[in-house]
Structure 1
């Protein structure tokens, strides 16, 4: 139902684009694209459908344009592979940390940029540009160095992104820059609220993953992955089963993850870290 709703919402927003004011399109478009990203995450763990191919087929089109679904799936499953690899900038493809030896060689202005990106305001503003550019650069370097594991996905990606843009531009008449500003950028930014502080560098692997006790809207938007420690402990649980598991094992889970918990939900995250880094980009012990 969530996937059907997302596709209906996106198709309706784009089809009726000229009839709707921007102040409706912007929040609904951002929410729709961010929820689609959450559904892609659910699908790559093969938790949406009983048939394996069905998990991937309906989330394959890149509504954000920049991220090929097979590449996302490959990198995210690598992120889950070893618990003690979490936050390791060499082994965790989703780490926002920089190795200490690399940090020492960075220009002061670039260090300031990375520190700003560790504030929530920075992650919401420059975060999408920084994350996407570094991701594309990493993928390009990998292909140039002879790692062709993602090459087929990248060769297919222009076709898939082209189909999305054909609908958006040719059929619905939406200028590219407007689709980028009203759908892609705010949707990517909103998705980064979840990933902002869900992992922190810590000597104990279990204490690197957060539990955010969010309200119903944000929990639905992130398909309960705000309870991120549960997801890493039980990646086999579909999104709708996570809250019950958390309620039944709440005290134990909070003890296991070293009480890395935000009881006030994302309001607490905003209040504490809007302009203050939740941690420094230099990895403290790698």
Structure 2
């Protein structure tokens, strides 16, 4: 198949920011204040809050923080890059250095490579030759991960396994290019965990069990249906018309096709951009659209969404 770029020209460009609070990105600053203020209040009052509520609120804030990190990669353009990256750098999510996420996610946005294993850093697909050599047990694990229940339960473990294999493999080969990133990450994590355990009197294991892991899972809810194989890149990006609860949590990245077409569009303008070009966007992405996460759960809670074997090799650009 010949390379064809994403047809961004078929999607009308959203209007320029006109109101002062849009230009100053006031909604993003409010989210920033809510995340960090909420997290501090939650930790300080941890022993006064029933653990189910503590876990729910903590997971929500960690996922929201990850959404803000995503926004800082693409948007928040009223600030210089170094400042917006510094503001979202604190590792309250506990597992992935922001600098690594920024690098890999930028690679993910090479839309022509979407879904190709080895090229798309966020692909869940496997090369046919790799799948053929997997044991039946490992294939069963990967197929369970293709159900929504599996993605929420074991998805974080599989993502961590992949991270360890990649980063550990670099160290084994004598490649220390990411060492500084990890040293900075662990220094920041030490401060975060000191605050959690020393100020909030929450054991580290409890923070990881009740906050980090479910927060990780909640983030994978959004990513579960985000991409699939399609002949053309724009057909590989989903639309999930969820409610304001999940829309705010994911900073409207659930309307994912708008984000891929206009990555620097502020998150609070995505719904209007979607409403203004709904028919064109649905035609562009092959009507790869869902009414909400309830529809997704009903379809794939216990059933694999697809077999994660990529159907074709990556085409050469310009072929």
The bucket for the TM-score relative to the shorter chain is over 0.9
1:24 is the counterpart of 2:37: no
Alignment pair present for 1:268 and 2:295: yes
Structure showing greater relative contact order (alpha-carbon pairs closer than 8 Å, 6 or more residues apart):
2
Summarize the Cα distance change of 1:79–1:125 in structure 2 as closer, same or farther, 3 Å threshold.
same
Q: Bigger CA drift: 139-148 or 36-45?
A: 139-148
Please state how far the C-alpha of 1:148 moved relative to its aligned partner.
4.2
- Over aligned residue pairs, what C-alpha RMSD do you find? 1.2
Listed as ranges, the matches of 1:5-16 within 5 Å are 5-16=34-45
What stretches of structure 1 of length at least 5 have no aligned partner?
none
Q: CA deviation at 1:221?
A: 0.5
Residue 194 of structure 1 corresponds to which residue in structure 2? 222
How many residues align? The count is 284
1:145 maps to which residue?
173
Is residue 249 from structure 1 mapped to residue 277 from structure 2 by the alignment?
A: yes
Superposed CA offset, 1:40-95 (max 9, x none): 11011242642222211121011121100100000000101x21100110101111
8 Å contact from structure 1 (residues 86, 208) kept in 2: yes
Partner of 1:60: 89
**Counterpart secondary structure, 2:134:** coil
More deviation, 276-285/238-247: 276-285
Contact in 2 for aligned 1:30/1:183 (Cα 8 Å): yes
Q: Corresponding residue for 1:283? A: 310
In 2, Cα distance between equivalents of 1:242 and 1:147:
40
CA pair 251-149 structure 1, distance change in 2 beyond 3 A: farther
CA offsets, 1:209-267, max 9 Å, x none? 100111110111100000001100100101001111111111001100011111x2111
Deviates more, 1:221-230 or 1:19-28: 19-28
1:74 aligns with 2:103: yes
Please identify the structure whose Cα radius of gyration is greater.
Answer: 2
State how far apart, in whole Å, the 2-side matches of 1:147 and 1:258 are. Answer: 42
Q: Distance in 2 between matches of 1:190 and 1:273?
A: 16
TM-score (norm 2): 0.86
Residue 49 of structure 1 contacts residue 55 of structure 1 at CA under 8 Å; is this kept in 2? no
What SS does structure 1 have at the residue aligned with 2:88? coil
- Does the 8 A contact of 1:115 with 1:280 survive in 2? yes
The 5 A counterparts of 1:167-186 are 167-186=195-214
Q: TM-score by structure 1 length?
A: 0.96
Aligned to 2:133: 105
CA contact (8 A) 1:47 1:237 kept: no
Q: For 1:26, what is the secondary structure of its paired residue?
A: helix
CA contact (8 A) 1:124 1:189 kept: yes
Larger deviation, residues 140-149 vs 12-21: 140-149
- On the 8 A contact 1:46/1:52 being kept in 2, the answer is no
* Whole-Å separation in 1 of the counterparts to 2:190 and 2:260: 34
